[in-house]
Structure 1
Amino acid sequence: MADAGIARKNDIHQGTLTRADLADTVHNRLGLSRAESAGLVERVLYHMCHSLSLGENVKISGFGTFILRDKGQRVGRNPKTGIEVPIAPRRVMTFRASQIMRDRISK
């Protein structure tokens, strides 16, 4: 198995990384079947989504943290008309990259 920190030629992506790309990487690096690799990626994403839907934050060491925040109702303004409109309370998700990820990205 190749070092996870070193990208191989087939692992370099242009544009957007997709579920299929993640499954292909798992297949190529771990030798699981394509179906098993896709299933593994789906299960990881499912558990992340499920935890977030329960109001839990998701932290992946060396990658970052998905944080949920509840925003209260506030008054906004229509930029075209200037009319004030209420903005309903809502839950938002943010992502905060770990320092390791920020260092990798800035290189």
Structure 2
Amino acid sequence: MTKADIVDIISMATGLTKVETEAVINGFLSTVSDALMEGKRVDFRGFGSFSVKKRASKIGQNPGTGEAVPVPERYVPVFKPSKMLKEAVDKNMKHSR
């Protein structure tokens, strides 16, 4: 599913125009992104949470040459689904097969 698909679905469900719906979605994504860039956690009860995790530095390997390459530490966004979401997905996938 793409962002355009989500815009279409929400637009039809709410009666908002696609332009209005896209503006709301862009605002939502921007707000979540800004919070993560500030190191904040973003929680959606019943859905999950977004947070930032520190990945430690390590020594990697160049696949072409086999040479050891230092990989610096970095911060990455992560999503942790709620128990309710995990259970709903599991139940639905079992019944759809």
- TM-score norm. by structure 2 comes to 0.80
Distance 1:87 1:80 in 2: 16
Distance 1:92 1:79 in 2: 23
Mapping 1:78-89, distance limit 5 Å: 78=62, 82-89=66-73
Q: State the partner residue of 2:43.
A: 59
Distance 1:84 1:93 in 2: 26
Distance 1:85 1:52 in 2: 28
Q: State the partner residue of 1:76.
A: 60
Displacement of 1:80 after TM fit?
6.0
Aligned residues: 91
- TM-score norm. by structure 1 comes to 0.73
Q: State the partner residue of 2:75.
A: 91
Structure 1 stretches lacking a partner, 5+ long: 1-16
Query: What does the per-residue CA deviation read over 1:66-95, in whole Å, with 9 as the maximum and x for residues that have no partner?
Result: 121122322233456554321111111221
Q: State the partner residue of 1:102.
A: 86
Distance 1:34 1:92 in 2: 31
More helix by share: 2
| SS of the residue 1:45 aligns to | helix
Displacement of 1:19 after TM fit?
1.4
Structure 2 stretches lacking a partner, 5+ long: 92-97
1:65 alignment partner AA = S
**Is residue 20 of structure 1 aligned with residue 8 of structure 2?**
no
**Is residue 29 of structure 1 aligned with residue 13 of structure 2?**
yes
